[in-house]
């Protein structure tokens, strides 16, 4: 834990207490959230160190996850925090999100249930203020080939295009797909358009020999799986 200090520059601290030097000596895992954030900020403002500013930011947002879904208006209260520093923070958070997605794809993770899918995509979707539609492309052993955004919509609806999804599946040599989208309201009850779209995509995939295994709706920490409905379509 970082010792409480007066608001002086970090350069005046003992070297072992400085976040950057501590990271290089002990590794990133040894740093607290405020220390990691301070490295991105580099400097604070007059009378406030980067560590102090980091603590104020974390006190407001609570977590990096909450911080990821903000815009410039949410940061106005912090003195010494201009557009460049906000951009550094947002870029780092996005790198972390993409790292997890790349790790899943390159690791050829196998999908065996709706929960497997939710565990992967929920961190990316649950706090969004607009609907985002993702497609997970799978090989013949249900291992992930790729995960991509098919559509980004308004707060009420996304507009995924059936033809483009199937075309992408054929290009990736995917044997099956799983679709996932979020309901920003937190209510995972499927709408009539959700049901209609699922049926259209199922039929298009059947024609092109690309199986739709599931369509999952996430909201908050909950989810709804169309797997039973798709089973009915298969009969």
CA distance 117 to 180: 8
CA distance 133 to 168: 14
CA distance 87 to 81: 10
**Gyration radius of the chain's alpha carbons:** 22
CATH class of the domain at 108-234: alpha beta
Q: Give, for all 235 residues of the chain, the pLDDT tens digit.
A: 445 444 455 666 666 668 888 888 888 888 888 888 888 888 887 778 888 889 999 898 888 877 877 777 888 888 878 888 888 888 888 787 777 666 555 556 889 999 999 998 988 888 788 899 999 999 999 999 999 988 877 766 777 789 999 999 999 999 999 999 999 999 999 999 999 999 999 999 999 999 999 999 999 889 999 998 888 777 6
Beta bridge partners of 146: 137
Q: Determine how β-strand 132-138 pairs with β-strand 144-152.
A: antiparallel
**Is CATH 1.10.150 correct for 10-100?**
yes
H-helix or E-strand containing 22? helix 19-26
Neighbours of 164 (CB within 10 A): 12
Q: Domain coordinates of the chain in residue numbers? A: 10-100, 108-234
């Amino acid at each position: 834990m970082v010792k409480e200090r007066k608001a002086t520059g970090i350069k005046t601290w003992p070297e072992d207490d400085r976040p950057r030097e501590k990271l290089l000596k002990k590794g990133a895992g040894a740093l607290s959230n405020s220390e990691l954030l301070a490295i991105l900020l580099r400097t604070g403002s007059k009378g406030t160190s980067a560590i102090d500013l980091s603590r104020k930011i974390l006190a407001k947002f609570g977590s990096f996850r909450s911080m990821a879904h903000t815009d410039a208006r949410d940061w106005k209260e912090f003195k010494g925090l201009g557009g460049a520093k906000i951009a550094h923070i947002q870029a780092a958070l996005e790198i972390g999100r993409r790292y997890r997605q790349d790790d899943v794809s390159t690791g050829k993770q196998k999908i065996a249930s709706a929960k497997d899918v939710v565990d992967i995509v929920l961190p990316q979707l649950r706090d969004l203020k607009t609907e985002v539609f993702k497609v997970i492309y799978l090989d013949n052993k249900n291992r992930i080939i790729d995960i991509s955004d098919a559509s980004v919509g308004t707060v009420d609806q996304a507009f995924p295009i059936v033809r483009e999804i199937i075309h992408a599946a054929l290009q990736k040599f995917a044997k099956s797909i799983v679709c996932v989208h979020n309901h920003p309201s937190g209510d995972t009850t499927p709408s009539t358009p959700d049901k209609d779209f699922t049926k259209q995509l199922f039929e298009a995939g059947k024609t092109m020999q690309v199986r739709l295994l599931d369509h999952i709706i996430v909201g908050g920490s909950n989810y709804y799986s169309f797997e039973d409905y798709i089973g009915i379509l298969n009969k």
